[in-house]
Structure 1
């Protein structure tokens, strides 16, 4: 063992781990000794903490990109990078080599004019997870994804297509087989008051291959045709996450479904409670489902109490079949359990539910390894 405590690897690892949430201290650690430089920089740049506060994010982004531009070797440390719309800053990163970057999260206002700019990052062979938030249309976003053939997990938030753009995309559908094989897909399509229907069949999703999809999350839109999923995907999917009101779901095709999350959020015309009740009632005893999560609004008083009573009885019947029932709040509000016991008295009286506080969807829970290995 080294007589110099600065060279004891165990001590170094403990120091870096203890200070991992303090960028200023990590920068100080990099000045302690030559042997401390690489471990400190690795922790500091592994997942850069770039603030989301608008007045500060531009300064943080500029400082971060300047550091990478001045010291390209720092790119080796990056694993997970969250980016805003930084077109001028991205151009300065041409000399940076990202050898271990596996997750990208960013906003791009218009993907049709950003292809060449973002191509070097999106084509990285190590890239596995992409979170893309864009103001572009759905069909344009799919074309943009051609740039990232190695991703396995996709979260896409975009705008609805116009009827004419849907017609154009349908007329120009490629004959080539899809080549981006996804394990998880989280999709949010927002738009007008009269949403167009978007199919989830294989042709409409090119270049995405969802034949072996394990996780599907549809958020914030009633414009998705769940029935259009190919049979292979229906049978391979293990987790379904419907975070907003999407209407009643037919779960019978999901023969291997293990986790179901339903966000009981009131839609524009109400009726979320009835749709949730009908969806839960369709779970047959033969379905191998293990976990049912009901995402609740913090304002429970908006719900139809009669429908909640029916949901309550269905949840109890699921719990009696050894299904784990979770009632989810998005905020750790005071008195949440009292509210739950008032609105779902039967399952509460039997102590058959688990109250959880969660601010993200089942797709993220699965990616973070918080669910059993499904």
Structure 2
């Protein structure tokens, strides 16, 4: 934890939330430190938005996407009934366990289809919170790792309940510290979510996901898999309808990540209808394990010969000449055969690209 109290995010959230009813105090907060400025300004803008809606409720009918912070005092002034066309909600909640009743009217809107939830709560509590939004089909959840396994009787009781939130896409980013537990993706662990007809699965930032815990129905329905960080070996032989695979390779891991990527690519069945394989490559100064890259090179070439589009993805900050030199060094056969497509994307562009693939 930071020794400077101005840099403690929880303290900042509490201060801004406490003063959210006072525009003058929010203005003062914006002058405390640079890190407080954006948060205070955003809160003031949200207050203006809420005031505009209270004076002209008909404006809510034109709102299709809403982005909000952890502003309970302001949210109480919103009338969810006016949001007749709201389909996307993006917001941050510090602790979901104390926010259920406050956010229920907004999350239970029948038009809501996409939810981006960023929270400091643990994985299990965050998933249980989603019972409030039964109509969502696309979920982007950023939360913290659990440190304790759920009790057996609790998990058993969940597994007996019928799922009712049937997702089309699931993007999961889990962050945490030392000694987290392994997280399953089965029905009991994800209740009230149903992923039996999932089309897109994106796992970011955690090595604590048990990939083999995916239900067989989900493995057969998934068309896009995106894992941007350390993933472990993913057996794709059961993903019968997989069309797009994007894997992030982490540099300088002594052959760890490179080996996982190689084994994952090798598990793609010749009968698999895969169309695009993307390797997200680091821009740093560390070098990949050359022996593993040589093996990946051969697998990528065999995929390219099956008319699979192979993309080597760099961040936009990478210069073109440096990227091409690294590709020829790491994947010489693919480079010699001119079988790869070198692309440059920001993280935001990658998100847009994945959404366009589904449309």
TM-score by length of 1: 0.80
Q: Which residue of the partner structure matches residue 346 of structure 1?
A: 333
Q: Deviations over 1:249-274 (max 9, x none)?
A: 11111111111110112487761111
Matching of residues 1-374 of structure 1 within 5 Å: 53-94=38-79, 97-163=82-148, 165-166=150-151, 169-170=154-155, 172-173=157-158, 175-266=160-251, 271-299=256-284, 301-334=286-319, 335=321, 336-360=323-347, 364-365=351-352, 368-369=355-356, 371=357
Alpha-carbon distance in 1 for matches of 2:280, 2:219? 23
Deviation at 1:281, TM superposition (A): 1.5
Deviation at 1:229, TM superposition (A): 1.1
Alpha-carbon distance in 2 for matches of 1:245, 1:110? 27
Alpha-carbon distance in 2 for matches of 1:95, 1:261? 38
In structure 2, the residue corresponding to 1:60 is in which secondary structure? helix
Alpha-carbon distance in 2 for matches of 1:95, 1:82? 14
Q: 1:230 to 1:56 in 2, by over 3 A?
A: same
Deviation at 1:96, TM superposition (A): 5.6
Deviation at 1:342, TM superposition (A): 3.0
**Structure 1: unaligned runs, 5 residues or longer:** 1-51
Deviation at 1:217, TM superposition (A): 0.9
Question: Does the Cα contact within 8 Å between 1:300 and 1:339 map onto a contact in 2?
Answer: no
Q: 1:309 to 1:86 in 2, by over 3 A?
A: same
Q: Which moved more, 1:198-207 or 1:262-271?
A: 262-271
Q: Deviations over 1:47-93 (max 9, x none)?
A: xxxxx933532222222222222221111111111211111111111
Alpha-carbon distance in 2 for matches of 1:128, 1:168? 32
Alpha-carbon distance in 1 for matches of 2:59, 2:118? 26
**Structure 2: unaligned runs, 5 residues or longer:** 1-36
TM-score by length of 2: 0.83
In structure 2, the residue corresponding to 1:224 is in which secondary structure? coil
